[in-house]
Chain A
């Protein structure tokens, strides 16, 4: 994954960037399976590698596929990134050890879900039970977000393109 990300940073051909992004998503899905998150891995493979690649390719078709070279040396962004990275690495030193069942995050509500979901919802897949039942509000909110994002895209793009409109926009931008 690290190699693909370096590739994405260095590649100037946007087509290559999109393809590397697809590879990256599949690798991410594999890692998620190793981490026992099969539901998430399935979503990531379908959404990350499938949907977003298709969308990005459609946009590349509409725009152009070469990236302009950087105008100035990226000193400040590099500095910011190094600072952030350093702070985060410092933060990992305090994190609880990996994969122990008595870590704080595994003691809160998760055991309750694991023990009771099969009696209360008859659903062996705890992820689905939590998603739809215990945290139904969350999911309703997420669905609403997807709904509004979809509406937003429709509003932005479903107006038919007219020549005058484009010219008018350009005229406004020149002022």
Chain B
């Protein structure tokens, strides 16, 4: 990406706002529009924006690939694990009633946990997809440069 001061400054100003928005959407999802899916995409978009402007290598320093790759199954596990916990507490799979002191509280907590699982999976999957595509693009660029240098 070409160096443009405007782009860099604007991105730096926007990034915290986007991340805050993602978290707001995540935890305010039961009261307003939003939830794990949207928040995951928004959070991934923040890192992707950073990667597009400052280079993917920089983005990988902030959010390393190993973390992303662990987070993909982790989200699914959080979701499925919630179901297992409710089985252990003597209810049906994915029935959150026993998680809290009152049924409604349990449901509330269950929704929050499950939404968090969704968030983790969606955000990390989007990010992982972006990393591999972007990594390919960088490799292609380097190869083109090397070939030009060789000839």
Physical contact A–B (CB less than 8 Å) = yes
In the assembled complex, B98 has its CB within 8 A of some CB on chain A: no
Tell whether, in the assembled complex, residue A123 and residue B137 are in contact, meaning their CB atoms are under 8 Å apart. Answer: no
Task: Please provide the chain A residues from 119 to 135 with a CB less than 8 Å away from any CB of chain B in the complex.
Answer: 119-125, 127-129, 131-133
Docked complex Cα distance between A62 and B93 (Å): 45
Tell whether, in the assembled complex, residue B34 and residue A42 are in contact, meaning their CB atoms are under 8 Å apart. Answer: yes
B85 to chain A, nearest CB (A): 13
B contact residues, total (Cβ < 8 Å): 55
A19 to chain B, nearest CB (A): 16
B31 to chain A, nearest CB (A): 5
Docked complex Cα distance between A131 and B118 (Å): 11
Place the interface of chain A in its size category. 35 or more
- Neighbouring A residues of B128 by C-beta, 8 Å: 150, 153-154
Contact with A along B102-124 (1 / 0, CB 8 A): 01110110110011011001101
In the assembled complex, A147 has its CB within 8 A of some CB on chain B: yes
- Neighbouring A residues of B30 by C-beta, 8 Å: 121-125, 128-129
Given A39-B38, A140-B80, A147-B72, A132-B111 contact (CB < 8 Å):
yes
Docked complex Cα distance between A160 and B132 (Å): 10
| Contact residue among B29, B107, B121, B136 (Cβ-Cβ distance under 8 Å from A120) | B107
- Neighbouring A residues of B94 by C-beta, 8 Å: 136-137, 140
Contact with B along A20-47 (1 / 0, CB 8 A): 0000000000000000001100110011
Closest chain A residue to B32 by CB distance? A125
Nearest 10 Cβ contacts at the A-B interface = A150-B125, A123-B30, A136-B94, A121-B107, A38-B33, A58-B133, A157-B132, A132-B111, A46-B41, A132-B114
Does more than half of chain A's interface fall in helix, strand or loop, or is it mixed? helix
Query: What residues of chain A have their CB less than 8 Å away from a CB belonging to chain B?
Result: 38-39, 42-43, 46-47, 50-51, 54-55, 58-59, 61-62, 119-125, 127-129, 131-133, 136-137, 139-140, 143-144, 146-147, 149-151, 153-154, 157-158, 160-161
Closest chain B residue to A153 by CB distance? B129
